[in-house]
A and B are shown apart, each in its own frame.
Chain A
């Protein structure tokens, strides 16, 4: 079956440092990957949409300089949170689109910033 894995599931970083998270599609080819952040206030915000062979589109309030994304092939995407601060804490979710327009979501990476 089709699954989306995210790694790590939980991570802690010091304020001002960076951390990288990964999203792996298994059992299907992810033609696009959407990255979200769920804040402590519970709202899911779309950070960016990454489509293979196209430019990555960032939503308002999110930039490539802060959240660089790599999507090198149809099964893998990674995103880095650069210079993480308290406001960056939350659950980061990736959603991968497969063939026939199906969409699969990973379990998320929970980021704590000290």
Chain B
């Protein structure tokens, strides 16, 4: 069964700084990754999805994917206190339509 590892477990960055979060799948056939943000007490909201090697940027958020290393990363530039949340990565193995979630990275952006 696929495992999705996220690192670090928690991260503290200053306001205006860069936050970098990592996610790796154990499934060599992984074909899709999603990044979600979940504020305390709320439902997760999808930030971005990626399935092609390379980089995808939306505003302050950039996602990288390297399928060969089964790894994706999320980078948040100019971090704001409102970015403080739990960031969840989900991955889906090719031919196995069961996305698996990681345990998340807890991000705190301090003013």
Interface residues of A (CB under 8 A from B): 9, 32, 34, 36, 38, 42-44, 46, 49, 51, 91, 93, 95, 97, 101, 103, 105, 107-108, 110
* Interface class of chain B by DSSP: strand
Give CA–CA (A101, B34) in the complex, Å: 13
> Of B32, B101, B103, which is within 8 A of A101 by CB?
B32
* 26 contacting pairs across A/B (C-beta < 8 A): A9-B43, A34-B98, A34-B99, A36-B101, A42-B86, A42-B103, A43-B101, A43-B103, A44-B88, A44-B90, A44-B101, A46-B98, A51-B97, A91-B43, A95-B99, A101-B31, A101-B32, A103-B32, A103-B34, A103-B49, A103-B99, A105-B34, A105-B44, A107-B45, A108-B43, A108-B44
With an 8 Å Cβ cutoff, the count of chain B residues facing the other chain is 20
